[in-house]
């Protein structure tokens, strides 16, 4: 088996991305997931780094910071998920990411219009659990998501969504 170095992974990332002169974004030319994030297709590199997201792999290769878990996210200052330009990437928490999305008014993160009885979906529950793990108050989370504190409490105690 070939040993994949950080330099080889970086070379692969640069060889498969193109810079958009207008925005400065370096966009991944390979496959993307449903949210628009570049997905690594090279099996050998994946086996070495265990990272699928190309922006995350770029961040790790450039900074040496190793992925510590789902509560950690790589934020895009350009708001372009396909971008892996290191200067557009920064390390943040799930909470930072959500607040950032709300601040930028990204449609799928606007929860205010929702009625309080609305149900949450799997992705939202994952995010709520990440926020709870960071000791963000349930009341605050309920407010951000436009749901009742009772729904958050049920998620917290495992009364609902235990499997997520
Ligand atoms: Zn960018």
pLDDT in tens, 1-53: 568 888 899 999 999 999 999 999 999 999 999 999 999 999 999 999 999 99
Q: What is the pLDDT of residue 1?
A: 59
**DSSP line for 55-104:** HHHHHHHHH-PPP--TTEEEEETT--TTB--GGGEEEEEHHHHHHHHHHH
Query: How far does the centroid of ligand 1 lie from the alpha carbon of residue 55, in Å?
Result: 10
| Ligand 1 center to 68 CA (angstroms) | 23
**87 CA from centroid of ligand 1 (Å):** 8
Cβ-Cβ contacts under 8 Å for 136 (sequence gap 6 or more):
95
Q: Could you tell me the distance, in angstroms and rounded to a whole number, from the CA of residue 15 to the centre of ligand 1?
A: 17
Cα 3 to averaged position of ligand 1 atoms, centre (Å): 30
* Res 124: pLDDT: 77
Q: Tens of pLDDT along 61-119?
A: 888 888 777 778 888 889 899 999 988 998 887 667 777 766 665 544 434 334 334 56
* Spans of all domains in the chain: 6-104, 111-157
Backbone angles phi, psi at 83, to 5 degrees: -80, 140
Rounded mean pLDDT, 111-134 = 65
Predicted local distance difference test score (pLDDT) of residue 42: 93
Cα 89 to averaged position of ligand 1 atoms, centre (Å): 8
Tokens standing for 104? 């930028």
| Closest to 130 (Cα-Cα) out of 86, 159, 99 | 99
Å from CA of 151 to ligand 1 middle: 36
Cα-to-centroid distance, 26 and ligand 1 (Å): 6
The first and second tokens of residue 146, run together, are 């436009």
């Amino acid at each position: 088996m070939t040993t994949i170095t950080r330099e080889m992974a970086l070379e692969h990332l640069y060889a498969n991305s193109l810079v958009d002169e207008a925005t400065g974004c370096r966009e991944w030319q390979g496959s993307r997931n449903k949210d628009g994030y570049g997905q690594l297709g090279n099996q050998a590199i994946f086996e070495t780094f265990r990272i699928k997201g190309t922006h995350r792999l770029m961040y790790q290769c450039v900074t040496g910071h190793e992925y510590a878990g789902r509560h950690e996210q790589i934020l895009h200052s350009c708001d372009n998920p396909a971008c892996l330009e290191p200067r557009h990437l920064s390390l943040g928490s799930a909470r930072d990411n959500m607040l950032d999305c709300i601040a930028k008014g990204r449609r799928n993160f606007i929860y205010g219009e929702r009625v309080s009885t609305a149900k949450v979906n799997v992705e939202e529950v994952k995010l709520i659990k990440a926020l709870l793990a960071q000791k963000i108050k349930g009341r605050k989370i309920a407010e951000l998501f436009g749901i009742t504190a009772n729904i958050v409490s049920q998620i917290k105690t495992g009364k609902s969504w235990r499997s997520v």
